[in-house]
């Protein structure tokens, strides 16, 4: 007799991508089990700001009010400081007939956000098992994914079976790796990020800040509760120079830049400096028979544009109906359904993938970023448009066209 399944769908990872997928599946009546190696609340190395459109999904998940009650900061937009010292400010303002869900983004500690979001999935019936580390993916005799191997903290392994497995296990996804779905490329930036939280940094306002120079970029954002998230992102090649001294490196970064140093006089670092990297990965396609990837497990390029959480939430919301269709349809149609998921992902995120690469190039070549900051400081409507695209409520097509890109990166060099 066939063994009873442990769930219709096993979701590996209970971060924003896994929670959003589980929420949509559970709401559609699917029996879903989320497995996460961590115990929540758990931290995640991140700059912790969310685009305005993330609030739309959090509202649909019925968790936005609780997040608002937790005391997040409200972000009006973004400020970029170019290597030559030019500043450009863009706001999350209605633009070209497009309106954000809210005219501000949220910034909130991941220890708070992720637990609330995962509880949102629990509230609609998803089962969640914490401290459950997935170590492998099982396949049946046809090669189709049929479950996972889970390790409890005490070290004993269990096999769990399901009709479908979702890999929402973030960067370095075990599901992606075991099925050979994820890859990095030598053309992807290899960067290392250091993140810490401070109190009493001076003059931190309602704009998230990015300070770019020849060595990397530095972000400051108010995340509510009197805390500021402070991040340094540098090429991986500098990791050797850093050695074990990541805190000294971080302190030195601030101390050696007068425009930052003066703002950290009297500031207090209240968390350890956490490090992560390299982080650029992609999967093409993000599925195999019986499984699909979502969130960072499927794609992540660079944190500069700050859209990973939105992409994770949106990815889960998009993936769930395809899984429901695959589970309810004839088995031989499953591959066609999952190919349609891949197509939907490209249509949803393809423009963003291009934009992230263009921004990544501008960061690596200060000439272009200096020009862009000049253009954006002179023409606020261009800055708002770009921030609206990064804020996920304006289509990328409005900036991914030769005219906008010329006006951004090239023409300021011909104007004094
Ligand atoms: C330095 C940095 C700064 C960033 N700043 C921002 C920002 O400001 N705004 C923004 O929107 N995005 C930002 N991002 C990106 C953002 O953090 C991610 O895109 C987002 O967390 C992706 O969500 P996820 O659910 O896919 O993955 P995660 O949030 O990483 O969740 C994955 C979950 O899977 C679990 N897991 C992993 N492996 C296993 C396993 N084997 N078994 C079981 N469970 C497992 C983990 O415990 C975790 O809970 C930043 C990223 C970096 C690196």
Q: What is the dihedral of CA 145, 150, 156, 160, to 10 degrees?
A: -50
pLDDT in tens, 283-304: 989 999 999 999 999 998 888 8
Would the CA dihedral through 301, 303, 305, 307 be positive or negative?
Answer: positive
For residue 241, what is the enclosing H or E element? Answer: helix 239-242
Q: Among the three residues 276, 303, 337, which one is the final residue of a domain in this structure?
A: 276
pLDDT at 303: 85
Q: Which of 45, 131, 296, 359 to mutate to test the pocket of ligand 1 (most atoms within 8 A of CB)?
A: 296
Query: What band does 416 get if pLDDT is binned at 50, 70 and 90?
Result: low
User: What's the chain's average pLDDT?
Assistant: 93
**What residues line ligand 1, using a CB cutoff of 6 Å?**
12-18, 35-38, 42, 44-50, 133-134, 168-170, 174, 193, 195, 231, 276, 279, 295-297, 300, 303, 306-310, 312
Q: Among the three residues 258, 276, 294, which one is the final residue of a domain in this structure?
A: 276
pLDDT at 189: 78
My answer on whether 179 and 262 are in the same domain is no
Which of 54, 101, 55, 107 shows the shortest CA–CA distance to 78? 107
Q: Which of 14, 21, 33, 46 to mutate to test the pocket of ligand 1 (most atoms within 8 A of CB)?
A: 46
Q: Is the pLDDT of residue 306 over 60?
A: yes
CA 80 to mean position of chain CA atoms: 19
Long-range CB pairs of 84-88 (<8 Å, 24+ gap) are 84/366, 84/370, 84/373, 85/259, 86/370, 86/373, 86/374, 86/377, 87/373, 87/377, 88/372, 88/373, 88/375, 88/376, 88/377, 88/383
d(CA 344, CA 67): 29
pLDDT in tens, 8-29: 999 999 999 999 999 999 999 9
Residue with tokens 């200060």: 366
My answer on whether 175 and 139 are in the same domain is yes
Domain membership of residue 165 (yes or no) is: yes
pLDDT at 392: 92
Q: Are 117 and 58 in contact (CB under 8 A)?
A: yes
Would the CA dihedral through 164, 121, 125, 153 be positive or negative?
Answer: positive
Residue with tokens 């000049």: 374
CATH code of residue 231: 3.30.9.100
Residue 173 CA to ligand 1 centre (angstroms): 10
Q: Are 173 and 11 in contact (CB under 8 A)?
A: no
Query: What band does 273 get if pLDDT is binned at 50, 70 and 90?
Result: very high
pLDDT in tens, 29-62: 999 999 999 999 999 999 999 999 999 999 999 9
Domain membership of residue 388 (yes or no) is: no
Q: Is the pLDDT of residue 230 over 60?
A: yes
Total number of domains in the chain: 2
Range of the domain at 202: 191-276
My answer on whether 240 and 114 are in the same domain is no
pLDDT at 60: 98
Residue 168 CA to ligand 1 centre (angstroms): 9
Q: Which pair of structure tokens corresponds to residue 66?
A: 């609780």
My answer on whether 268 and 310 are in the same domain is no
Residue with tokens 């296990």: 169
């Amino acid at each position: 007799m066939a063994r009873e399944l442990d769930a219709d769908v096993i979701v590996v990872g209970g971060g924003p991508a896994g929670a959003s997928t589980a929420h949509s599946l559970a709401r559609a009546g699917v029996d879903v089990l989320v497995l996460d190696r961590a115990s929540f609340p758990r931290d995640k190395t991140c700059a912790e700001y969310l685009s305005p459109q993330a609030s739309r999904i959090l509202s649909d998940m019925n968790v936005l009010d609780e997040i608002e009650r937790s005391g997040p900061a409200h972000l009006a937009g973004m400020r970029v400081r170019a290597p030559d010292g030019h500043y450009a400010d863009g706001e999350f303002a209605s633009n070209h007939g497009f309106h954000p869900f809210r005219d501000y983004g949220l910034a909130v500690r991941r220890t708070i956000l992720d637990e609330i979001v995962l509880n949102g999935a629990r509230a609609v019936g998803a089962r969640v098992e914490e401290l459950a580390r997935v170590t492998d993916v099982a396949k049946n005799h046809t090669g189709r994914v049929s479950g996972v191997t889970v390790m409890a903290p005490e070290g004993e392994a269990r096999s769990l079976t399901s009709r479908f497995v979702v890999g929402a296990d973030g960067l370095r996804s075990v599901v992606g790796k075991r099925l050979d779905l994820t890859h990095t490329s030598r053309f992807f930036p290899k960067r290392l990020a250091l993140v810490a939280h401070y109190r009493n940094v001076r003059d931190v306002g309602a704009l998230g800040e990015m300070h770019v120079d020849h060595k990397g970029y530095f972000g400051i954002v108010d995340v509510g509760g009197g805390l500021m998230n402070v991040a340094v992102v540098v090429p991986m090649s500098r990791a050797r120079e850093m050695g074990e001294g990541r805190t000294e490196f971080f302190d030195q970064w601030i101390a050696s830049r007068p425009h930052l140093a003066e703002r950290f006089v009297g500031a207090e670092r209240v968390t350890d400096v956490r490090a992560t990297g390299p982080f650029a990965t992609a999967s093409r396609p993000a599925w195999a028979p019986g499984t699909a990837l979502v969130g960072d497990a499927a794609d992540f390029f660079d944190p500069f544009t700050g859209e990973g959480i939105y992409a994770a939430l949106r990815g889960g919301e998009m993936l769930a109906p395809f899984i429901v269709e695959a589970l309810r349809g004839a088995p031989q149609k499953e591959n066609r359904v999952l190919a349609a998921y891949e197509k939907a992902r490209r249509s949803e995120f393809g423009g963003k993938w291009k934009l992230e690469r263009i921004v990544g190039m501008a960061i690596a070549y200060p000439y272009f970023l200096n020009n862009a900051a000049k253009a954006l400081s002179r023409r606020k409507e261009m800055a708002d448009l770009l921030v609206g695209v990064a804020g996920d409520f304006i289509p990328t097509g409005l900036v991914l066209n030769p005219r906008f890109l010329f006006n951004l990166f090239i023409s300021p060099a011909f104007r004094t």
